[in-house]
Amino acid sequence: MDIFRSLDPATSETIWEGPEATRAECDAAIAAARAALPAWRALPVEDRIAAARRFAAALEAGREEFARLISRETGKLLWESRAELGSMIAKVDISIRAYAERTGTREAEMPFGRAILRHRGHGVMAVLGPYNFPGHLPNGHIVPALLAGNAIVFKPSEIAPATGAAMAAAWEQAGLPAGVFNIVQGGRATGEALVAGDIDGLLFTGSAGAGAALRRALVDRPHVILALELGGNNPLIAWDRPEAAASIIVQSAFVTTGQRCSCARRLILPQGAAGDAILDAVDALAGRLRIAAWDAPGEAFMGPLVSQAAADGARQAVAALERLGARAIRRFATVEGRPTTFVAPAIYDVTGLSVPDAEIFAPVLQVTRVADFDAAIAAANRTAFGLAAGLISEDPALWDRFVEGSRAGVVNRNRPTTGAAGNMPFGGLGASGNHRPSAYYAADYCAYPIASFEADGVEAVEVPGLD
């Protein structure tokens, strides 16, 4: 039996430990979901809605304790974890509205009777969760999937198993029938066993590399619905208002210690004095950001990276940039007197260099200087990813050009790239997803449409071409 542990990245204290689920245990969880599915799907949607609302009430009742658990397990500051719990609770009502609007029942009168549109859940849905928002992001798959009448097998990130266990406990408090929600804990091997099992859907949030592997694993199983919410090498063009722009850039690049898929990774600036002023303002503001453990007194902006492995991976990626000639404006470094999971924001000028088109999941911002706005748009689109993009400018003509020319699923103006709303779609193109955006549009991939022509009586229909 393989035992794995979740560690507090600020202290290395063990938060959770337990066995890794085997292939047989994954199959048993899928079988339990399969057995529970018919009765759950047959319930009136109002009963499923009531269960989701009881789940939200359970989260609300344990809100502070749950937020503290997320902070201990991921290193996120408590204000962020509290916000995450708020998003999880709000997701229930948002998902209820989305279910009714996007996957409800519609009827139209026809000369012969009625045309009716219905939706039905796919069946047994496997959900693989990430570590950066270990509650909110899998919750964004699970709630709409359950409302649609699916049964769930959930594997949390192996970095955040305690958060996943707390979510399972909240669903248990909500009184779901046995087998409707199942949890398996483990790492890559457990995930592979779950994906190989008898599932009808796979809902995944994580890295582009893992998403590509999942596409390959399901290439011969077209009946399995696959929804991928992946990362991004997100561009942010800043064109004017240096001081105000700096705050937006810092929020875009460094919030959550750079561990959001929508963080700005590439800052595109004009050559000359305007670009210099923006970069100087960003550098100065980045140097003032307070970095602390989640339970340190006072307010802070960033905590540690989620694990030592994450910190080591970021260091290797930055070292590769430096070998390619990236010029350090603010070097990637460990915070003095702290464990090496605590890192300071980094800024590198990569103008004119051929650097990897890769997501560095850390507070690392790469700067490119361009001659004009056409070159800025071209630089923004020079990526295989397409999740988020942004423009900082008060010129509406530039915004019109940017929103028309940008290739991304989330495109913001004069706001951080990380800004998104639960009542709108969230997702990207290219290496950032597979054209199944989540958030409000999650309802779309949690159910399939059934179109019917219906007449109450049996009447002969015209058959042309008879002798």
Q: Which residues belong to the active site?
A: 229, 261
CA distances from 48 to 69, 151, 403, 424, 447 (A): 28, 11, 39, 23, 14
In whole angstroms, give the CA distance from residue 344 to residue 342: 7
CB 248, CB 281: distance < 8 Å: no
CB 130, CB 7: distance < 8 Å: no
**153: which strand partners?**
126, 182
Q: Which residues contact 95 (CB under 8 A, 6 or more apart)?
A: 52, 143, 144, 147, 442, 443
- For residue 267, give the amino acid letter: L
